Chain A
């Protein structure tokens, strides 16, 4: 069992890898399918996991992970705790712009079992953006997929002149105001 590192492998030409972490498999799978359907001009591989660390026996075939997306469902306390535990297995370099949190389930307030302040604090502590989205809705899922793809392109270094760190600091300054 190892820590996921952003720079331990060489990048593959014209390809990018995204890692989705979350216990809600249905949503995870739907989002992955939506990302695959989007038009893009690079090779993508989507890795799905319910928790970190990733199993070590697949380390040698796994490409370099460019972006980690933690999917938080505020209706499941178990899922939230699982993500908190998983974060310990992520290398600190990832938090320089290569991690984001997708927060779902905020719409149905009376089903929320995770405190919103805890979620915000998580974003603050790990210096990573929170993206609020209701993934059950198809329109929002598509726009979220597009947004993640764009971020993935930046994180994988496909956009000249914009680095992941630069992009995340751009996002943060607007958030912290």
Chain B
């Protein structure tokens, strides 16, 4: 077995939390189950990694197996990466074709390798019909860098692909090209929708978030503002009807179910500065630069609880509530639409 492969496997195992190691190795499915059972996960992680590498050596693992291990790792800990959604469109006619995984793999590989020899490309299909593609990029003179790979998640029956953010921006056009060639689409564009939580992105673009029967967060979050039942007759809530109105409006806007998980929303103003005629020293054509960023561990839930918590007026600005419907969280606000940042209330 190659030294670099052994080192790569060792480092990948070291990244995994100890309690997840057996499940991860099982999902990998490369090492025989009997040997996995015998693997002791109690000692130091270095020792476990050493033992795993030993096992791989016996089974003569190649870079292909190591790459699959890396895919399994990234599938398990997908929240560690930032995912960007890309939408593909058919040219015209749009004949429905049956998806052929082997043809897809072949076309994808051929397209990339025709421009770049030094790449490692690996595929793995998961139960939910997701195809994970891992591409380690090299240049014409250097070997592929296994530690800075790009990951693509593609669902065969949908026009969406999720690409992990990586430093190899220069290879992105090639990757996009390979994707549309392999999946028989005409064009691809970035959707301005990014998040750490891949499942939430899928919820948004596949429109499953507001349906009550299937979202990826199975347990509804505990309602924070459920007031303890007003037992004391000396306490009188004066504006019950207003509260009910807020609840109702909020429910209309956000729905019942838990919200998909996004971490940021960004609004960029590209409007002209309009001054009163008296202020002559300010140039009329100067653009008014302003960038509003919202960030939160769970942005949409946070927005949802703004009004009930008494921090904003009940129907929030449509700019904030349109995020899941429009499936984007990066916005540019232009002059003609006539929307102003003044309508935004910062959380």
Q: Which residues of A contact B (CB under 8 A)?
A: 19, 22-26, 29, 32, 36, 43-51, 54-55, 58, 62, 76, 78-79
Contacts of A26 in B (CB 8 A): 225, 309
Taking a contact as CB atoms closer than 8 A, the residue among B234, B239, B241, B309 that contacts A45 in the complex is B234
User: Are A79 and B310 closer than 8 Å at their CB atoms?
Assistant: yes
Contact B238 A49 (CB under 8 A): yes
Alpha-carbon separation in the docked complex, A62 to B310 (Å): 24
Question: B235 contacts A48, CB within 8 Å?
Answer: yes
| Interface SS majority for chain B | loop
CA distance A54 to B235 in the complex (A): 15
- Can you pick out 22 interface pairs between chain A and chain B where the beta carbons lie within 8 Å of each other? A19-B238, A22-B310, A23-B310, A23-B311, A24-B310, A26-B309, A32-B235, A36-B232, A45-B234, A45-B236, A46-B234, A46-B235, A47-B238, A48-B237, A48-B238, A50-B242, A54-B238, A54-B239, A55-B241, A62-B236, A78-B313, A79-B311
Q: How large is the interface on B (under 10, 10 to 19, 20 to 34, 35 or more residues)?
A: 10 to 19
CB-defined contacts of A24 to chain B, threshold 8 Å: 310
Bound: A34/B235 CA distance, A: 12
Q: State whether A29 and B311 are in contact (beta carbons under 8 Å apart), knowing that A36-B235, A48-B237, A49-B238 are contacts in the complex.
A: no
In-complex Cβ contact of A25 among B225, B236, B238, B312 (8 A): B225
A residues less than 8 Å from B241 (CB atoms): 55
B residues 222-239 touching A (CB-CB < 8 Å): 225, 227, 232, 234-239
Q: Which of B227, B236, B309, B345 contacts A29 (CB 8 A)?
A: B227
Bound: A45/B238 CA distance, A:
12
Which residue of A has the minimal Cβ distance to B309? A25
CA–CA, A1 and B182, complex, Å: 66
List chain B residues, Cβ under 8 A from A23.
310-311
On chain A, the residues within 8 Å of B237 by CB distance are 48
Chain B residue numbers with a CB within 8 Å of A58 are 238
Q: How far is the CA of A78 from the CA of B242 in the complex (A)?
A: 17
Binary CB contact string for chain B from 299 to 321 against chain A (1 if under 8 A, 0 otherwise): 00000000001111100000000
- In contact, A47 and B236 (Cβ under 8 angstroms): yes
A78 touches B238 (CB 8 A): no
Chain B residues lying within 8 Å of A19, measured Cβ to Cβ, are 238
The answer to whether A78 and B345 have CB atoms under 8 Å apart is yes
In the bound complex, CA of A45 to CA of B310 (Å):
23
Contact between B232 and A78 (Cβ–Cβ < 8 Å)? Answer: no
In the A-B complex, list the 10 residue pairs whose CB atoms are closest, starting with the nearest: A23-B310, A49-B238, A47-B236, A54-B238, A45-B234, A46-B235, A47-B238, A48-B237, A49-B239, A25-B310
- Apart from A48-B235, A54-B238, what are 15 other A-B pairs with CB-CB below 8 Å? A19-B238, A25-B310, A26-B309, A29-B227, A32-B235, A36-B232, A36-B234, A46-B234, A46-B235, A49-B239, A50-B239, A76-B311, A78-B313, A79-B310, A79-B311
| B295-347 residues at the A interface, CB under 8 angstroms | 309-313, 345
State in angstroms the CA–CA spacing of A26 and B318 once bound together: 27
